[in-house]
Amino acid sequence: MTFLPKTMRGVIARTKGGPEALSVDTFPVPEPRPGEVLIKVVYAGVCRPDIMQRRGIFSPPPGASEILGLEVAGTVVACGAEVHDLKVGNRVAALLSGGGYAQYAVADARCCLKLPGFLGERECAALPEALFTIWHNLFELGRLSCGEAVLIHGGASGNGTIAIQLANAIGATVFATAGTKEKATFLHKLGCAHPIVYRDQDFVSVIGEARGERGVDVVLDIVGGSYMPRNLAALGPGGRHVSLAFMESANITLDFTVVMRKSLTLTSSTLRPKSADEKARLKRALERHVWPLVETGRVRPVIHAELPLAEAAEAHRILEASEQVGKVVLRC
């Protein structure tokens, strides 16, 4: 029988504000409810939705932990009733509704992925949120397929590095933006055929020179604002525009005749508010279509930095400054 402590360390935002609002406190170790497992967390991934929660822009969904963190990797140490596919001792990566920046976290067993033997918790903690997000948005909503072309904004982000690898794996041509030449060089090595330094190059012109009126078939956007009309200009006939975030602005002005003339599709989605059943469906799709690419090493997480749990504020600062290539993880 596994001995479990009564308390643990975890990170919350004491107030709405900057990274300094984060605080490491002591909390009771949670108990798994039916259908849930308790995970002894080894590493937790740091995601932009964590920053939005800290700022007070997004609130946790009803019933979610006040502790930040949407993805972890570790070992199952307890199972609630009605858990059949996992057992104590399994190493897993898990998508959470919250509670990841802690020494222990509960997860819906249906949202846990068993770790390949050759990958450690450090790498796998960086996978769940990106895999769930990119699979649903780029492939289910965006319908990206072999032989098509995609523009990925924020290519050096955690989501971006996964999106590039998955798009490349299915045989799509990848254009991706990055803020520096160094990041663009890294993206090229990752499988991006056309890395674009957005401070020096106009991505609409680059795509036009490479593709002509065909443009790209899908745009995966995180910027919004002034990027939206330019994204639509980069899309070809029948193109699909998928918004993941609005780092510049969610208030957008555009000429909708462009949408009509090109027969474009505009769509968007966010992961955290989705129902547990929908997340479980996405996990099953990942097991069929994406996890085999992880198990064979064709898709690998990119880790920019590893920090101790007590330095969660520094992790947030790195993301907010867009210094990272890939993910930042917390050692719990």
- Scan for tokens 């996964």, then name that residue: 162
Residue ending a domain, choose from 248, 268, 288: 268
d(CA 332, CA 330): 6
Total count of domains within the chain: 2
Q: Which two tokens stand for residue 104?
A: 């222990």
With vertex at residue 15, the alpha carbon angle to CA 12 and CA 17, rounded to the nearest 5 degrees, is 105
**Is 135 found in the same domain as 97?**
no
DSSP string, 11-45: EEESSSSSGGGEEEEEEEPP---TTEEEEEEEEEE
Same domain, 120 and 176: no
Which of residues 250, 268, 286 is at a domain's end? 268
Quote the pLDDT of residue 117. 87
- DSSP codes of every residue in 137-202: IIIIIS---TT-EEEESSTTBHHHHHHHHHHHHTT-EEEEEESSHHHHHHHHHHT-SEEEETTTS-
Do 306 and 231 sit in the same domain of this protein? no
Range of the domain at 158: 131-268
Half-sphere exposure of 124 (CA within 13 A, CB side): 25
For residues 144 and 186, state if they share a domain.
yes
Do 217 and 254 sit in the same domain of this protein?
A: yes
| pLDDT computed for residue 161 by the predictor | 98
Residue ending a domain, choose from 249, 268, 287: 268
Q: How far apart are CA 258 and CA 275, in angstroms?
A: 34
Question: 142 and 245: one domain?
Answer: yes
- Could you tell me if residue 22 is inside a domain? yes
pLDDT of residue 2: 66
> CATH no. for residue 311?
3.90.180.10
Q: How far is CA 112 from the centre of its chain?
A: 15
Is the residue at 21 inside a domain? yes
pLDDT of residue 268: 96
CA distance 277 to 275: 5
Report in angstroms the alpha-carbon separations of 166 from 60, 102, 144, 297.
29, 30, 10, 12
CATH code of the domain in which 179 resides:
3.40.50.720
Say yes or no: 225 and 298 in one domain.
no
In this structure, the number of other CB atoms found within 10 A of the CB of residue 210 comes to 15
Question: What CA–CA distance (Å, rounded) separates 72 from 126?
Answer: 8
Task: Name residues of the chain where pLDDT drops below 50.
Answer: 1
